[in-house]
Amino acid sequence: MWARVTSIGLKGMEGYRVNVEVGTFVGNDSFKIVGLPDAAVKESKERIIAALSLLGYVLSGNKIIINLSPADQKKIGPMFDFPMAIGLLLSLHEVEAMIPADTGFLGALSLDGSVQPVEGLLPAVLAAKRQGIRRLYIPLDEHLPAFDIEGLEIIYVSSLKDVIGHLTGQWNPSIFKKIEVDRECENNRYLDFQQIIGHAGAKYALEVAAAGEHHVLLTGPPGCGKSLLAESFPSIFPLLTKEAQLEVLSLYQLSRNAYSQSQLPPYRSPHHSASGVAIIGGGQYPKPGEISLAHRGVLFLDEIGEFSKKTLDMLRQPLENGSITISRTHASITYPASFVLIAAMNPCPCGYAGSNAHYCTYSPKQILSYQNRLSGPLRDRFDINLKLSPIDLNAARMALQGELSKIVQERVKEARERQYDRYGQEVCNSRVSYEVLLRTNPLSDAQQSFIQQLAIKNTWSNRTQIKIIRLARTISDLQASPAITDQSISQAIKLNTV
């Protein structure tokens, strides 16, 4: 006999519908899985046989063929155990139930018949929604949030016995209760702006960067506060939306990295010894790298000049497109990588070039060589360039106390909402296309002439001029101005060309 059930396959973050077709025929005992299965899928045969035998189902005397369609897509992982077992029971008429095509199954099987969570469960659930699945049977994973997705009914099961009972109307699933997270504790995870003494100008620049998702390059001697500013930067980001939170959790699950069920944006700070694969992502079956784990958040590269030139040049595509495509022999996978890059760099190898308190022992040629570790095309992708100097702590303590991150965060949130309303989608000034930017924010003739004159005088590239317009628009958004102001253009020039 023949039966078919629906499941979901993954290709990176992208999912596709998999039809699990099961045929059983009278004949010599055999069990064959076809449809480009990998080793983990092939081993499903033994797990299914053991689980069904323990539940009292007899498979002997049958020739079993399971086809995972589409047959030209590589099937990876044990998440097809569960749908294959259900399809087999239907084919053998051990379970009499009508299962619609918009009902899906995901999960691995243990030898005792229990249904276990699998790697990539969260992105598979999101993909099921996109593929038109209306009901989904999945195992309960306490490390993931309870899914509350409109238009998709989630049924949590712990064993094949539960599923069979539910399909035949003999069992009702228990409700999985959400675990509430203490938001007050969450907000204390990152360093608060108020804890950083001085650097008022740098704090304002970071506020602009957070509001428009602009990339920032910090240059200054050791100990001047570059790392502290970067560590406090995520504290002024707006909290993640529900969709963004699920997207971030999906990336962490695919990479097998731990991540709390938090609404705070992610913050990643890899060491400069990290390989290109660790930063960008990759492997035989490409996994997300640091840039994807920083999606919707902040990537901090301390001592960026110490990273290999090859690794740094790999950042150019994600900085431009907000995604990274990893090509391998058997697959080409795209992961989201929309992050704000904060990079820190010393002015020279020792860090004290131009300092009045320390003597730099490097020649101008050596200093230039060190600065050139950051290529021109990559350096050109930083919207804000900040040169920091050590703070006089005694004078700074006497000054007014800085603002709390929570206050700055509210201004950033309001500025982003103005951008979302203006562009009709969740996109910020740094990422919206230049055509849309100018159409929705036309410059006056005087402003265009002013920027062109400075561009000719300072030999600015077209990219630099566009960056200044984007920065000016963000500054105007923070000031709640409907149009780009002359003052915001002047401030943008200072932030970009310092």
Is residue 314 within 8 Å of residue 279, measured between CB atoms?
A: yes
Give the N- to C-terminal CA distance of the chain in Å, as an integer. Answer: 74
Lowest mean pLDDT among 3-12, 191-200, 268-277: 191-200
Cα distance between residue 160 and residue 58, in whole Å: 15
How confident is the model over 414-418, as a mean pLDDT? 96
How confident is the model over 397-424, as a mean pLDDT? 87
Lowest mean pLDDT among 74-78, 326-330, 469-473: 326-330
pLDDT digits (tens, 9 = 90+) for 314-327: 898 899 888 998 88
Q: SS3 of 115, please?
A: strand
In angstroms, the Cα distances linking 15 to 9, 103, 256 are 6, 15, 18
pLDDT band of 296, cuts 50, 70, 90: very high
pLDDT band of 181, cuts 50, 70, 90: very low
- Residue 393: pLDDT above 80? no
Lowest mean pLDDT among 52-61, 174-183, 456-465: 174-183
How confident is the model over 26-48, as a mean pLDDT? 89
**Check whether domain 2-167 has CATH 3.40.50.150, yes or no:** no
- Residue 207: pLDDT above 80? yes
Tokens 């309303």, residue located: 421
pLDDT digits (tens, 9 = 90+) for 250-275: 899 888 887 766 788 999 999 999 98
User: Number of helices (H) and strands (E), helices first, in the chain?
Assistant: 21, 18
| Domain coordinates in residue numbering, the chain | 2-167, 185-425, 433-498
DSSP secondary structure of 72-114: TSPB-SGGGHHHHHHHHHHHTTSS-----TTEEE--EE-TTSB
pLDDT band of 103, cuts 50, 70, 90: very high
- Residue 28: pLDDT above 60? yes
pLDDT at residue number 196: 85
pLDDT at residue number 184: 43
Is residue 333 within 8 Å of residue 11, measured between CB atoms?
A: yes
Percent residues over pLDDT 90 in the chain: 47
pLDDT band of 150, cuts 50, 70, 90: confident
Q: Mean pLDDT in the chain?
A: 87
- Residue 485: pLDDT above 50? yes
pLDDT at residue number 34: 93
pLDDT digits (tens, 9 = 90+) for 237-249: 999 988 888 889 8
Between 96 and 481, whose confidence is greater?
A: 481
How confident is the model over 294-306, as a mean pLDDT? 93
What are the two backbone dihedrals, phi and then psi, of residue 136, each rounded to the nearest 5 degrees?
-135, 125
Between 490 and 140, whose confidence is greater?
A: 490
Give, as one character, the DSSP assignment of residue 69: E
In angstroms, the Cα distances linking 368 to 357, 372, 440 are 21, 6, 41
pLDDT band of 419, cuts 50, 70, 90: very high
Between 351 and 80, whose confidence is greater?
A: 80
- Residue 104: pLDDT above 70? yes
- Residue 394: pLDDT above 70? no
In angstroms, the Cα distances linking 55 to 32, 89, 229, 492 are 21, 11, 59, 69
Enter the tokens of residue 270: 């890899």
- Residue 111: pLDDT above 50? yes
How confident is the model over 318-344, as a mean pLDDT? 87
Q: Is the peptide bond before 70 cis (omega within 30 degrees of 0)?
A: yes
- Residue 182: pLDDT above 50? no
- What pTM value is reported for the model? 0.86
- Residue 178: pLDDT above 50? no
Between 60 and 110, whose confidence is greater?
A: 110
pLDDT at residue number 369: 87
pLDDT at residue number 398: 55
pLDDT band of 366, cuts 50, 70, 90: confident
pLDDT at residue number 384: 95
Cα distance between residue 385 and residue 112, in whole Å: 60
How confident is the model over 356-373, as a mean pLDDT? 83
Between 268 and 399, whose confidence is greater?
A: 268
- Residue 172: pLDDT above 80? no
Helix, strand and coil content of the chain, in percent to the nearest 5, comes to 40, 20, 40
Domain 185-425 sits in CATH at 3.40.50.300
**Half-sphere exposure (Cβ direction) of 209: Cα atoms closer than 13 Å:** 33
Highest mean pLDDT among 92-101, 135-144, 159-168, 416-425: 416-425
